[in-house]
Structure formats: C-alpha cells, structure tokens
Amino acid sequence: MALTREQIAQRVAREFKDGDYVNLGIGIPTLAANYVPDGISVMLQSENGLLGMGPYPTEAQVDADMINAGKETVTAITGSSIFSSAESFAMIRGGHVDITVLGAFEVDQHGNIASWMIPGKLVKGMGGAMDLVAGAKNIIVTMTHADKYGNSKLLPECTLPLTGVNCITRIITDLAVLEIRDGAFYLAEHAPGVSIEEIKKKTAGKLIVPEHVPEMLF
C-alpha cells in the first residue's frame, strides 16, 4: 500500500538527528514536525527569520508579529532566536542548516529538482526554495512517486524549469526511500506492502536495486 501523507511525514522524521537544525517546506515536510522521535531534539528554522519555531499559537497567544514562512501565525520555543531575512539566508546559504525537507514536481537521477514553475501556468515565485536547495547540507524531497495519471516523477532528466542542480540527496515517496548515487536513483527502502516491481514500473530514471531492499520503518 502506498503511504499516506502522514506516513511519509513520519518516515521523514526518522531522518532527524538530535541537535539538527531543520528547515521544513510547506505541505508534507511541515507535518514531519509532529513525528520527531522520542529523545531527539531538532530546532526548526523558518526562513522569514526564526530559529526555534514552536507550535501554532492558542487563541490567546496569537500575535500578528509572529509568523512562519508560510505566513501562518506561530510561536517560538524557549531558546529561539529571531533575526533579519539576510541573516536567515546567511545561515541557509552558508550551509549551517543541517536538513532541508521540501516538496517537488519532479526530481531526476542527477539530483536536480523542479519545484516552482510549470510553464503555461501562472508563476507565483520561488520564495526561498532556490536558496535552500543551494545551501543546505542534506536535502530531502518528499513527493508522490507518480502523478495522478501514473506518470513517474523520478526522471532521467527534469522536464520543468529547475529550482536547483545536483543538490538533492534523498527522496522519500509514498512507495520508497531513494538516494541519489552516481547519476542514478538507489533504492534504499520500500514501503510496507509495495513491491519492487511497482517501484521499478513507476521510476522512469535509472534505478539501482540492491540485492536486499529493506522495508521502511517508522
């Protein structure tokens, strides 16, 4: 069975190490904050200028001056810091953020990512995504393995305008965990109940399948 959004988020959270500074994109990546494993502390970076983002506020805590990069009201944890956008992107571009998790339309076997622009559709902008993929040490992409018509989103070459080149390290989909290795997708884990055959069928790019592919743990 393909994973739900929550299950993908749960698997993402297993990537976190104690003491990691993490930037989570909008959508499934944000959900990963709900599944940080016991005994692990991460500090969430929000690129509008907050390190140590907390949960959404209660009604009484709502403060218009306290928002996240998705422009939602938010809180700050004890020990957080708040700074300018230039400072925020200095920590991103300077490689100080340990893990970035973001969604994508397409990825390819060279580690390229397309996530911001579909030609012919109105382009709203890249926000901070290009900076994040150019700067973070470890970039994890979450997405469904194929689109709703069954077309693979893991390609030999991205077809859409890129967000960044040769930058992503891991892909966590509803079917599998894959790594970018030597110009190919390396199958690291399969989702419970998902066959290797299905993953092969839905991966258009070059796929390396090792002899033993472990089942994903949550």
Partner 1 sequence: MSGFDKVVTSYEEAMAGLQDGMTVIAGGFGLCGIPEGLIAQIKRMGTRQLTVVSNNCGVDGFGLGVLLEDKQIKKMVSSYVGENALFEKQLLNGELEVELTPQGTLAEKMRAGGAGIPAFFTATGYGTPVGDGKEVREFNGRPYILEEAITGDFAIVKAWKADRYGNCVYRHTAQNFNPMAATAGKITVVEVEEIVEPGELDPSQIHTPGIYVNRVIRGTFEKRIERLHVREEA
Residues in the site for partner 1, rule: CB under 8 A?
46-50, 55-59, 62-68, 70-74, 76, 82-86, 88-89, 92-93, 112, 117, 122-131, 134-135, 161-166
Q: Which amino acid is at 59?
A: E
Q: Which member of 15, 47, 106, 189 is catalytic?
A: 47
Active site residue 47: yes
CB of 65 to partner 1, least distance (A): 4
> Residue 111 burial by CB count (10 A; 0-12/13-18/19+): exposed, middle or buried?
buried
Compare residues 84 and 195 and give the one whose CB is closer to partner 1: 84
Judged by CB, which is closer to partner 1: 164, or 205?
164
CB of residue 207 to partner 1, shortest distance in Å: 23
**CA nearest to 23, candidates 102, 110, 127:** 102
Q: Kindly give, in sequence order, each residue whose CB lies less than 8 Å from that of residue 2, ignoring residues fewer than 6 positions away.
A: 144, 145, 174, 175, 191, 194
Rounded CA-CA distance 1/87 in Å is: 43
Q: Which is nearer to partner 1, 61 or 195 (CB)?
A: 61
Phi, psi dihedral angles at 119 (to 5 degrees): -55, 140
Catalytic machinery residues = 47
